[in-house]
Amino acid sequence: MEGQDKSIAEQQCVDVILKLWSNRAVLPNGLRPFENYEPILRGLARLEYKPPSFFYNEFSQFGHDINDDECAETNMWIANAIKIDEGARVLVKESFDIAARYAKDDKTREFLKNSPTYSDDDLRIIFKLYGDKKSKLNEDEILEKTREDLKSKLKSINSMKEVCVEYAQMIKLELEKINDVSK
C-alpha cells in the first residue's frame, strides 16, 4: 500500500486507536490501564478551583508585596493568609505526589510508554505525577536541589503551622468567652 491509500489507512488506524483509548475507563476492574491513579484523579477533581466568593486572581493588579506603611494588624493577617496558602499548596502537592508513588506499578509504566503522549487531561496529569523524567543534573546537583526543595517545603509548612496554632488559640479563647457568657 502506497501514497493516498497508505495515508487513509494510517489515519483510520489512528482514529480507531483513539476511539479505543477514549473508552479505556469503561474496562472492567483489573484491566483499566490507570486504575491505580483513579483515586488520585478523583481527588484532584475535588480540588478544582471554583471561586465562590474568594478573590485570589481578581486583585492581581494590586501587586504582591505587603506595604509596610499600612496598618500592622492588617498586614499581619494578610501575611498569615499568604503563609496558609503557601503551606496548604505544599501539603496538597506533597499528598498527591506520595499517592502517586504508591500508585506506580509496572502496568502503568508500560501503558505510559505506549500511550499517546498527553492525549487527554488524565494522561497529562498521570505523566506529570509519574515523574520518570531523566534529569540533566549530576548526582550532587540532584541531591542539592532535593535538599533545597525539602527545606523550602518545610519552611512553608512550619510557617503555616505557626499560624494555625495562633488561630487555634484565638478560637479557643473566643469559645471560652462564649461558654462563660452562656453559663
Q: Are residues 4 and 83 in the same domain?
A: no
For residue 114, give its domain range: 34-181
Q: Are residues 8 and 25 in the same domain?
A: yes
Q: Are residues 64 and 118 in the same domain?
A: yes
Rama region for 118: left / alpha / beta (φ>0; ψ in -120 to 50; rest): left
Q: Are residues 133 and 47 in the same domain?
A: yes
The pTM of this model reads 0.65
Q: Are residues 136 and 168 in the same domain?
A: yes
Task: List C-alpha distances in Å: 3 to 11, 15, 41, 72.
Answer: 13, 19, 42, 74
- Output Rg (C-alpha) for the chain, integer angstroms: 24
Q: Are residues 78 and 156 in the same domain?
A: yes
| Best CA proximity match to 111, nearest among 37, 34, 40 | 34
Q: Are residues 53 and 142 in the same domain?
A: yes
Per-residue pLDDT of 25-67, as tens digits, reads 666 676 666 777 777 777 777 775 544 444 445 544 455 565 6
Per-residue pLDDT of 116-173, as tens digits, reads 665 667 777 777 777 666 667 788 888 999 999 999 999 999 999 999 999 999 999 9
Number of domains in the chain: 2
How confident is the model at residue 71, as a pLDDT?
A: 77
Q: Are residues 60 and 99 in the same domain?
A: yes
Among all chains, which residue has been given the C-alpha cell 540532584?
Answer: 142
Q: Are residues 46 and 75 in the same domain?
A: yes
Q: Are residues 26 and 46 in the same domain?
A: no
What mean pLDDT comes out for the span 91-111? 85
